[in-house]
């Protein structure tokens, strides 16, 4: 554990989540490959999986979103999605109802660096991507959109001015067909470090998210935090069943096909690149933590 993570864990209120069992590699040779594969999202019917790769050949851009469909007990060969662009397309997330996929892109016509988009899921595949507009996007970068299980909040991160420092976590309330103006998550969760890649769990109030003093220069770990009276605690680092002693762990996402399961990306067990994992969790009663992690 870094000094930074240890200091936070001593102060944290234990989140209402417990990791259960060991991480399972998802789709070896199909989704988890020798290339860097990140942020697995699975549809509620369990038949479609999306993720993105930074370096997998075959797509139109350097960052592309990939799809695999379940056929019987197996996952079919992966292909790039139809809504990829020649730029960066990444961080896909199904909505719980399966009507939309939210994602990030730096394609032309945006409002800044990486913007948030959504695309309708249709009988034929996917519709036309829609920029989420200026109440959500900014001239800075927005990452990892995720619509809450109740459909009322869009969760994401941004390094726009006005936060606690670097990337912070934001939410935007659903309003009509769009969203109200985004605001930082209240409480102690946002810090001078990078907080990003967040996912709601099934209770709509517990988050799993990535944190590092600098996402470019330091190891990234996954944390969990819970809302108490509308304000989030600083979070507690997750155990080694999710995090690694040396390598990065990030890209968490609630598995809509099994809401007691979480997906994430990690470089574990000597792997040469980021791979995709699933692991179960349990929501439990929160309390004051002594900060023991065992790293």
171-201: pLDDT as tens digits:
999 999 999 999 999 999 999 999 999 999 9
- Is residue 58 a contact partner of residue 66, using CB atoms and an 8 Å limit? no
198-237: pLDDT as tens digits:
999 999 999 999 999 999 999 999 999 999 899 999 999 9
What integer best gives the mean pLDDT of the chain?
Answer: 91
Residue 151's φ and ψ, nearest 5 degrees, are 75, 10
Query: How is 15-82 classified by DSSP, letter by letter?
Result: PS-EEEEEEEE-SBTTTB-SS-EEEEEE-TTS-EEEEEESS-TTSSSSBEEEEEEEETTEEPPPEE-T
Domains with residue ranges and CATH for the chain: 3-281 (2.120.10.30)
% helix, strand, coil for the chain, step of 5: 5, 45, 50
Residue 245's φ and ψ, nearest 5 degrees, are -65, -25
Lowest mean pLDDT among 98-107, 112-121, 139-148, 283-292: 283-292
Separation of alpha carbons 106 and 111, rounded Å: 9
Residues in contact with 99: Cβ distance below 8 Å, sequence separation at least 6, in sequence order: 120, 121
72-121: pLDDT as tens digits:
989 999 999 999 999 999 999 999 999 999 999 999 999 989 999 999 99
Helices (H), 69-175: none
46-55: pLDDT as tens digits:
999 999 999 9
pLDDT at residue 6, rounded to an integer? 42
What's the pTM value of the predicted model, to 2 decimals?
A: 0.92
pLDDT at residue 162, rounded to an integer? 87
Residues in contact with 116: Cβ distance below 8 Å, sequence separation at least 6, in sequence order: 102, 103, 104, 131, 132, 136, 137, 142, 145, 154, 156
pLDDT at residue 1, rounded to an integer? 46
Model confidence at 243: pLDDT above 80: yes
pLDDT at residue 3, rounded to an integer? 45
pLDDT at residue 295, rounded to an integer? 27
Instruction: Count Cβ atoms below 10 Å from residue 285 Cβ, excluding itself.
Output: 6
pLDDT at residue 2, rounded to an integer? 52
Confidence of residue 285 (pLDDT cuts 50, 70, 90): low
Token duo for residue 262: 């979480």
Separation of alpha carbons 107 and 104, rounded Å: 9
Query: Strand 168-175 and strand 178-179: pairing?
Result: antiparallel
Confidence of residue 287 (pLDDT cuts 50, 70, 90): very low
Residue 27's φ and ψ, nearest 5 degrees, are 55, 50
- Is residue 169 a contact partner of residue 198, using CB atoms and an 8 Å limit? yes
């Amino acid at each position: 554990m870094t000094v930074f993570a240890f200091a936070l864990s001593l102060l944290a209120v234990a989140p209402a989540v417990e990791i259960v069992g060991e991480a399972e590699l998802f789709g070896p040779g199909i989704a988890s490959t020798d290339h860097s594969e990140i942020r697995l999202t699975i549809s509620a019917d369990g038949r479609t999986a999306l993720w993105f790769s930074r370096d997998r050949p075959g797509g139109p851009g350097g960052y592309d979103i990939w799809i695999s469909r379940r056929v019987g007990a197996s996952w079919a060969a992966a292909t790039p999605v139809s809504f990829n662009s020649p730029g960066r397309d990444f961080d896909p997330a199904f909505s719980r109802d399966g009507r939309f996929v939210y994602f990030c892109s730096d394609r032309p016509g945006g409002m800044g660096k990486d913007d948030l988009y959504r695309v309708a899921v249709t009988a034929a595949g996917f519709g036309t991507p829609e920029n989420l507009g200026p109440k959500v996007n900014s001239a800075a970068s927005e990452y990892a959109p995720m619509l809450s299980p109740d459909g009322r909040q869009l969760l994401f991160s941004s390094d726009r001015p006005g936060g606690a420092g670097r990337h912070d976590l934001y939410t935007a309330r659903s309003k009509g067909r769009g969203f109200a103006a985004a605001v930082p998550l209240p409480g102690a969760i946002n810090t001078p470090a990078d907080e990003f890649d967040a996912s709601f769990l099934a209770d709509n109030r517990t988050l799993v998210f990535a944190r590092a003093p600098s996402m470019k220069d330091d190891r990234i770990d996954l944390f969990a935090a819970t809302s108490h009276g509308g304000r989030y605690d600083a979070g507690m680092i997750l155990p080694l069943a999710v995090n690694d002693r040396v390598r990065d762990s990030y890209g968490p996402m609630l598995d809509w096909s099994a809401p007691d399961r979480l997906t994430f990306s990690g470089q574990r067990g000597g792997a040469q690149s980021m791979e995709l994992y699933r692991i179960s969790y349990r929501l439990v009663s929160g309390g004051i933590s002594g900060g023991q992690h065992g790293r």
